[in-house]
Amino acid sequence: MSQVQLTVNGKAVSADVEDRTLLVHLLRDHLNLTGTHVGCDTSQCGACTVHIDGRAVKSCTVLAGQADGASVTTIEGIARGDELHPMQAAFRDNHGLQCGFCTPGMIMSAIDIVSRHGGQLDEATVRHELEGNICRCTGYHNIVKAVLDAAGRMKVAQAAE
Amino acid sequence: MGIEGIGASVVRKEDKRFITGKGRYVDDIKLVGMTHAHFIRSPHPHAKIKGIDASAALKMPGVLAVLNGKELVDDKIGNLICGWMIHSKDGSPMKMGAWPAMAPEVVRFVGQAVAVVIAESKNQARDAAEAVVVDYEELPAVADVKAAIAPGAPQLHPEAPGNQVYDWVIGDEAAVNDAFSKAANVVTMELSNNRLVPNAMEPRAAIADYDAAEEHFTLYTTSQNPHVARLVLSAFYNIAPEHKLRVIAPDVGGGFGSKIYIYPEEMVALWASKKVGRPVKWTGDRTESFLTDAHGRDHVTKAEMAFDKDHKITGLRVKTYANFGGYMSLFSSSVPTYLYATLLSGQYTIPAIHAEVIGVYTNTTPVDAYRGAGRPEASYLLERMMETAARQLKVDPAELRKKNFITQFPHQTPVIMAYDAGDFNASLDAAMKAIDYAGFPSRKAKAKSEGKLRGIGVSCYIEACGIAPSKAVGSLGAGVGLWESAEVRVNPVGTIEVLTGSHSHGQGHETAFAQLVADRLGISINQVQIVHGDTDKVQFGMGTYGSRSAAVGLTAILKAMEKVEAKAKKIAAHQLEASEADIVIEGGEFKVTGTDKKIALPMVALAAYTAHNLPDGMEPGLKESAFYDPSNFTFPAGSYICELEVDPGTGKTTFVNFVAADDFGRLINPMIVEGQVHGGLAQGIGQALLEHAVYDGNGQPVTASFMDYAMPRADDLPSFKLSHTTTLCPGNPLGVKGCGEAGAIGSSAAVINAITDAIGNNALEMPATPDRVWRAMQG
């Protein structure tokens, strides 16, 4: 057992976990942040994607201990109160989700994609960048639309700040 | 239509919880005192269990129990059932071996459960499972359907000699023989329909909670049909009587058919919960999904189509071998028979059809309905045949289809189905226009000059949805009726709860169903709550599959709404001292036509519940229910056209354009409908290009993870161009047909037809990987 201390969605947390505990299980089982999902066991599907120190990471590939001292953001931590993150709003407005299971990981990956590419995104780039997130419901059509829409919204939001 | 009524693309009410991480899936639920199950599964495709030694595991930390299949038998827990009886052509009932939830003696596919560890934590259960020693005696195994029926093949079940479950026929063989004897042209093809793994993104999961004082079970499960689960668990598996079993299917992360069935894990969790006296949770991992979720498709078919000198189809002869895997899953028997062969007329006038289907056991994961279920196999077969026929007859593939389209409705096919409405020319014309079919030859020539092989492929599908008229399916062997139920509760303050037997696992019912209520009463969808997925709340339901929820589930809601409205009008008329016949409902108010007299819905509801001033003899309250049994299937149909390029050096395909023109009847929420089509297209294209559940010759699965099984990813797919043509379904008052499966049914053939057009070789099987395409190009 080890104690890990980290910041999750802006709050300092600590937990005693088995050394083999993955970050995703720390989030889900110890911190009850069940918005981060487990869709596979080979780090392929991306349903568990969170941000560690601002970068999108599959939380099933990271031991909880490796996140010691890090700042982790999950799907529960991106809205500001009742105000949705522009990516969340774009997924809703473009019908970029159906069953919702891959959605948290998609949104966390998509935010990272937009922030890395700035506003310089096109459909081909979005499709290539989303390769690590699997969705079985939407055929990606509306997810791609949502990400491109959000890229515009995030640019506007950034300009406003 | 109002801005939130029928026909409006309203954003979904349910989305907020999903985009903020507040969805509640089974694995998100924790109960006090909950324990964890881990199954021990066979690594062998076929073996005898000589012994199970759990002594070391039982001494490990946190372990509460290790249970096996012999104990299930001792406790008289029933075997899994197949709920659709099929009779062979000789009149004998299908031949099935028993499927115990955990194998007591023999395992017949890799992944079959033989024992389960119950422990305090998931890790403890997993660790202990490693310490359970199962002594197997390996037996010869067979995975391929043709190999399994060959003489001398390993035998799976003594009840099914030769591994044959049934040899079923439909149609008029003599008429077909006659058509072929007079045919001017005959097209013959041998095709396989590749085995697929549904892979809903949420793995299956279950939590069972036994209350000893009440002798009552609660099961949280990833189900598309919680009432069916309760019925089967009660009536056949001897878990608990229905009134002592509550089944809850909360947010469910996709199903595609794979979550219809009642699997061993739910049964064992319930049974184990009583044994250990604690709640038991099981959450499958992805490899368990690959090994144990019911697979889809897996046909091998030889088909012949006869044409007269005018290129009219005169006959169709089909022989299909369907691979069922090691056991007969819940509805498996119906898939390659009544869901497949009854659609072999497609969109065409075919005077004579005869199909023979041989169902076969193999040492593979059981196969059952997966998105489309039989209809994709029929559509793929016919549309490959039509394209090949056009090439053989040297006519345009679209023109050959048009020449043979059914144009008069209703149309009785030779294989049971009576198509009620459609306009197949309209959808094909729409698709041809959308893709500029006429301009294709010049685009092909231009691509050639750039060193690319360009192809175009058409696919015109029809499906039978709105499953299904209970009397009809009963006469064909179904063990259940396929109606739907609904209840509409108007609360005393005028808000409305609709309880539906349909289950939403991505389809957006919470929005689309609310739109109907909003439309009829002229209120906001935010005043309407759709309740589903809990047998303690909803009176009954047959669940969601087979594109049935709009045509059957929503019509049941409409029927209950009509009763509510009738009663509310009586109350309003009484309150307004007007004639009931003069009351109209508009904008959430009950108005007396031609006057300014009106009363708002909340006041009518309040009057119903205070009961101070109701018409004489009227019961208080405003709540009605309905059971709706459809009178026919519905027949969504459409045309898909794919244009793509093949790289002659690598065999890799690149999409240029993919257009879809569907006729789903009336659309409730076009945004949701288009989302359903996108997802279906992705699964059909995935089957055409990527997906294949592969077994080696001995029955070992070699594609049991996302590392090995090619799921369609964002950069494998194009954006789609969708359009709609409309003929209303005459079979239900809403005129809806259903849209959930169309994309998966129609798209595979369009892709393969485009590739074979590009490379000039018809001999190509799915998935058309670059390797296979390149080999086909070499002739």
Residue B779: the pLDDT is 79
Query: Looking at the domain B483-628, which fold is it?
Result: Aldehyde Oxidoreductase; domain 4 (3.30.365)
Using a CB-CB cut-off of 8 Å, the residues of chain B touching A130 are 713-715
Q: Please name the member of B201, B707, B715 whose beta carbon is closest to the beta carbon of A136.
A: B201
Using a CB-CB cut-off of 8 Å, the residues of chain B touching A136 are 199-201, 254, 256, 679, 682-683, 711
Q: What string of H, E and C letters represents the secondary structure of B487-538?
A: EEEECCCCCEEEEECCCCCCCCHHHHHHHHHHHHHCCCHHHEEEECCECCCC
The tokens of B533 are what? Answer: 């997925």
Radius of gyration from C-alpha coordinates of chain A: 15
Whether the Cβ atoms of residue B649 and residue B706 lie closer than 8 Å to each other: no
pLDDT at A147 over 50: yes
Which among B19, B642, B659 is the top mutation candidate for probing chain A, defined by the most A β-carbons within 10 Å of its own β-carbon?
B19
Three-class secondary structure of residue B320 per DSSP: strand
**CA of A8, closest CA in chain B: separation in Å?**
14
> pLDDT band at residue B2, thresholds of 50, 70 and 90?
low
pLDDT, mean of residues A44-71: 98
The answer to whether the CB atoms of A130 and B717 lie below 8 A apart is: no
Task: Give me the count of residues in chain A.
Answer: 161
Q: Which helix (H) or strand (E) holds B286?
A: helix B286-292
pLDDT at B426 over 80: yes
Q: Does CATH number 1.10.1040.10 belong to domain B299-468+632-777?
A: no
Q: Where in chain B is the domain with CATH 3.30.365.10?
A: 299-468+632-777, 483-628
The count of other CB atoms within 10 Å of the CB of residue B70 is: 16
pLDDT in tens, B232-275: 999 999 999 999 999 999 999 999 999 999 999 999 999 999 99
**CA of A132, closest CA in chain B: separation in Å?**
8
pLDDT in tens, B592-609: 999 999 999 999 999 999
Using a CB-CB cut-off of 8 Å, the residues of chain A touching B679 are 98, 136-139
Q: Does CATH number 3.40.720.10 belong to domain A2-77?
A: no
Answer yes or no: same fold for A2-77 and A86-160: no
Residue B670: the pLDDT is 98
Q: DSSP code of B49?
A: E
> pLDDT band at residue A84, thresholds of 50, 70 and 90?
very high
Bridge partners of B84?
B478
Q: Where are the domains of chain A?
A: 2-77, 86-160
Phi/psi for A15 (5° steps) reads -155, 145
Burial zone of A60 (CB within 10 Å; 0-12 exposed, 13-18 middle, 19+ buried): buried
Query: What is the dotted CATH code of the domain comprising B18-24+34-139+199-292?
Result: 3.90.1170.50
pLDDT, mean of residues B754-776: 97
**CA of A41, closest CA in chain B: separation in Å?**
6
Q: Where in chain B is the domain with CATH 3.90.1170.50?
A: 18-24+34-139+199-292
Average pLDDT over chain A reads 96
pLDDT in tens, B263-309: 999 999 999 999 999 999 999 999 999 999 999 999 999 999 999 99
Average pLDDT over chain B reads 97
Using a CB-CB cut-off of 8 Å, the residues of chain B touching A135 are 201, 714
Tell me how far apart the alpha carbons of residues A112 and A118 are, in angstroms, rounded to a whole number: 10
Tell me how far apart the alpha carbons of residues B198 and B595 are, in angstroms, rounded to a whole number: 58
The count of other CB atoms within 10 Å of the CB of residue B481 is: 15
pLDDT at B389 over 80: yes
- Residue for token pair 């070992």: B700
pLDDT at B696 over 70: yes
pLDDT in tens, A33-49: 999 999 999 999 999 99
pLDDT at B1 over 50: no
Q: Please name the member of A92, A98, A103 whose beta carbon is closest to the beta carbon of B675.
A: A98
The answer to whether the CB atoms of A97 and B11 lie below 8 A apart is: no
Using a CB-CB cut-off of 8 Å, the residues of chain B touching A107 are 19
Please state, in angstroms and as integers, the Cα–Cα distance from residue B277 to each residue in B29, B61, B213, B221, B347, following that order. 18, 18, 11, 19, 57
Which among B14, B20, B669, B711 is the top mutation candidate for probing chain A, defined by the most A β-carbons within 10 Å of its own β-carbon?
B20
The answer to whether the CB atoms of B706 and A42 lie below 8 A apart is: yes
Q: Are strands B411-412 and B353-361 parallel, antiparallel or unpaired?
A: unpaired
The answer to whether the CB atoms of B202 and A95 lie below 8 A apart is: no
pLDDT in tens, B16-31: 999 999 999 999 999 9
Q: Does CATH number 3.40.50.1100 belong to domain A86-160?
A: no
Residue B98: the pLDDT is 97
